Amino acid sequence: MKHQQDPLPAKGARSRARGEKACRPPKPLLITIDGPAGAGKTTVSRGLAAKLGYRYVDTGALYRAVAHEALRKGISPQDDSNLRRLCAGLKVTLKESPQGLRLMVNRRDITEAIRAPGIAMAASTASAQPSVRAYLLGLQRQLGKKRAAVFEGRDMGTVVFPDADVKFFLDADPRVRAMRRFKEMQHPPHMTLEEVEEEMRQRDHADRSRALAPLKAAPDAIRIDASHLSQEEVIRQMLGYICGGVRK
């Protein structure tokens, strides 16, 4: 779906399944959802934000934006000093549109371009560089100031928003995650299931083992294993935690 759908932060519409009691927290919350690629974070985060009437921010898209710009300018995603210079000249913004938020870099719309093959791996490599993390840390905290938002990423609950009101860590079996990713790419450009699984394994390893802000669950995060749950079930569990009394 990352490949096909509007990939970015869509402003949450107030929607409610028929018969389901509304979950309206008494104050605007900042909710974080971390986890590895393919665990279903994007769909779940977007759905949860819609149920609550909150903004949804996909922070992976911000890392992809930096990687996209680096590749466009011939900068290696490992070259921290040139990435620092690149970030200094970037203006990354989220622009409202009738189709949801659009990702703009220096007034260019790169919402779709960041889903091209190769960008995910480049984003993972660039995300290990100190200058990129420092640049995006400021931007993400700025975006989180108003709260009433669901932030999805790798280090939301550990580094960016350690004071978040509710933290989730969403995981799933690697094979399930690879299969999900594979199905999301309805017309896989040139990848077999095994290749998707291998790319995911490499990216997971890089994201979990990097020195700065590695992917891990915050000690106070609620862990959900989505291997055998539908996305609706995951959202229902999350609403249960947020509004009390887990709903089945």
171 lies in the site for ligand DC, by CB under 6 A: no
203 lies in the site for ligand DC, by CB under 6 A: yes
Nearer CB in complex with ligand DC: 59/237: 59
Work out how close the CB of 128 gets to ligand DC at its nearest, in angstroms, rounded to a whole number.
Answer: 8
Nearer CB in complex with ligand DC: 44/123: 123
Nearer CB in complex with ligand DC: 52/156: 156
Work out how close the CB of 65 gets to ligand DC at its nearest, in angstroms, rounded to a whole number.
Answer: 10
Nearer CB in complex with ligand DC: 53/214: 214
Nearer CB in complex with ligand DC: 90/243: 90
- Structure-derived torsion over alpha carbons of residues 182, 183, 186, 189, reported in degrees to the nearest 10: 10
Q: Which of 60, 100, 144, 157 is close enough to bind ligand DC by CB under 6 A?
A: 60
CA dist 150 and 135 (Å) reads 20
Q: Smallest Cα–Cα separation from 1: which of 215, 152, 140?
A: 152
35 lies in the site for ligand DC, by CB under 6 A: no
63 lies in the site for ligand DC, by CB under 6 A: yes
Instruction: Find the part of the chain contacting ligand DC (CB under 6 A) among 19-27, 97-105, 154-162, 187-195.
Output: 154-162
Work out how close the CB of 183 gets to ligand DC at its nearest, in angstroms, rounded to a whole number.
Answer: 16
Nearer CB in complex with ligand DC: 87/120: 120
CA dist 98 and 102 (Å) reads 10
Q: Which of residues 93-152 bind ligand DC (CB under 6 A)?
A: 120, 123-124, 127
Task: Transcribe the chain into DSSP letters.
Answer: -TTTS--S-PPPP----TTPPP---SS--EEEEE--TTSSHHHHHHHHHHHHT-EEEEHHHHHHHHHHHHHHTT--TT-HHHHHHHHHT--EEEE--TTS-EEEETTEE-TTGGGSTTHHHHHHHHTTSHHHHHHHHHHHHHHHTT--EEEEESSIIIII-TT-SEEEEEE--HHHHHHHHHHHSSS-SS--HHHHHHHHHHHHHHHHH-SSS-S---TTPEEEE-TT--HHHHHHHHHHHHHSS---
Q: Which of 46, 51, 55, 64 is close enough to bind ligand DC by CB under 6 A?
A: 64
Instruction: Evaluate whether 133 touches 160 at the Cβ level (below 8 Å).
Output: no
Work out how close the CB of 144 gets to ligand DC at its nearest, in angstroms, rounded to a whole number.
Answer: 12
169 lies in the site for ligand DC, by CB under 6 A: no
Q: Which of 37, 70, 150, 196 is close enough to bind ligand DC by CB under 6 A?
A: 37
Contact set with ligand DC (CB under 6 A)? 37, 59-60, 63-64, 120, 123-124, 127, 153-156, 203, 207
